[in-house]
């Protein structure tokens, strides 16, 4: 049985005070959460504060990105070691906003995956097709390619540290959600690819989250699908009132 994983990607939202209060609120409401893995991904500058609040709770803290070099002249960038130093356990890599707004390539994301693993961080590797690609019938081709490229050189043994997040670009922040069937179909395709690249054991064990306008009112349906193992939540992760019910939907 795969243990469901619900993650909150705060993106470039909140301020110091609100980040602190949100972490405190989650700490109170989710103090005993065990059967579901929960993590939050605040902006870099609030990681330290949020990690301190959530220290010794079951809620993990992760970063939204990292740079694939250990140190040096990379102005404005943050290394994996810096992230573990401030209490991060995981890191989101290849989020669609980084692929499409910042221009990150599969190769660059793959370098980050390797560096994150080297630093002891657990990557959440994001991928997903655009609306044009879906309309052109290319969903499976696009997400399979992103998965293979993102995991290039990653061993079967390292796969237990990797979470995959399927996030169709057309569903992120748009209020439009993939139907549970659409999500399950994409996840099944990704699981097949994992079976081809690795083996059945890895394919069955890998957590594949769905992301894209997950809300309290659609979470239960999405999470009931056999291949949907959790959620990567953006907008609805910014308040206790909307994030906690999504975690509860995963518990049921």
**Using CB under 6 A, which of 110, 206, 213, 242 touches ligand PGA?**
213
User: CA-CA distance, 89 to 199, in Å (whole number)?
Assistant: 26
Residues 170-189 that bind ligand PGA (CB under 6 A): 172-173
**Using CB under 6 A, which of 154, 169, 208, 233 touches ligand PGA?**
233
Q: Is 123 a binder of ligand PGA (CB under 6 A)?
A: no
**Residue number, 80 or 235, with CB nearest to ligand PGA:** 235
- Choice among 60, 129, 167, 187 that is catalytic: 167
First to last CA, the chain: 14
Q: Report the nearest approach of ligand PGA to the CB of residue 125 (Å).
A: 13
Q: Report the nearest approach of ligand PGA to the CB of residue 37 (Å).
A: 16
Q: Report the nearest approach of ligand PGA to the CB of residue 72 (Å).
A: 29
Q: Is 167 a binder of ligand PGA (CB under 6 A)?
A: yes
DSSP, collapsed to helix, strand or coil, labels residue 208 as strand
Closest CA to 246 of 230, 227, 226: 230
Q: Is 212 a binder of ligand PGA (CB under 6 A)?
A: yes
Q: What angle do CA 182, 184, 187 make, to 5 degrees?
A: 110
Q: Is 9 a binder of ligand PGA (CB under 6 A)?
A: yes
Query: Quick check: 228 and 183 in contact, CB under 8 A?
Result: yes
Query: Quick check: 113 and 125 in contact, CB under 8 A?
Result: yes
Catalytic residue flag (residue 100): no
Size of the site for ligand PGA (CB under 6 A): 13
Q: Is 104 a binder of ligand PGA (CB under 6 A)?
A: no
Q: Tell me the CA distances in angstroms from 128 to 11, 48, 124, 165, 228, one per residue in order.
A: 18, 30, 13, 8, 14
Catalytic residue flag (residue 167): yes
User: CA-CA distance, 125 to 151, in Å (whole number)?
Assistant: 9
Six token digits for residue 42: 């605040």
Q: Which parts of this chain interact with ligand PGA (CB under 6 A)?
A: 9, 167, 172-173, 211-214, 232-236
Q: Which residues are catalytic?
A: 95, 167
């Amino acid at each position: 049985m795969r243990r469901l994983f619900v993650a909150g990607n705060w993106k470039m939202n909140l301020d110091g005070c609100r980040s602190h209060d949100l972490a405190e609120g989650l700490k109170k409401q989710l103090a005993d959460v065990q059967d579901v893995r929960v993590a939050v991904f605040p902006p870099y500058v609030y990681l330290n504060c949020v990690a301190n609040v959530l220290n010794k709770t079951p809620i993990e803290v992760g970063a939204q990105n990292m740079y694939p070099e250990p140190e040096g002249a990379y102005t404005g960038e943050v290394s994996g070691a810096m992230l573990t130093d401030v209490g991060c356990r995981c890191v989101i890599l290849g989020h669609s906003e980084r692929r499409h707004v910042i221009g990150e390539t599969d190769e660059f994301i793959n370098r980050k995956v390797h560096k994150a693993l080297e630093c002891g961080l657990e990557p959440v590797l994001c991928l997903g097709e655009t609306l044009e690609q879906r309309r052109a019938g290319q969903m499976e081709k696009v997400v399979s390619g992103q998965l293979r490229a993102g995991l290039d050189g990653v061993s079967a043994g390292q796969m237990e540290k990797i979470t995959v997040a399927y996030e169709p670009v057309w569903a992120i922040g748009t209020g439009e959600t993939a139907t549970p069937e659409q999500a399950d179909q994409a996840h099944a395709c990704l699981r097949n690819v994992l079976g081809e690249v690795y083996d059945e054991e890895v394919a069955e064990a890998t957590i594949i989250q769905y992301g894209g306008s997950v809300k309290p009112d659609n979470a239960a349906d999405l999470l009931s699908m056999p291949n949907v193992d959790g959620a990567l939540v953006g907008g609805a992760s910014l308040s206790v009132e909307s994030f906690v019910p999504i975690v509860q939907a995963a518990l049921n």
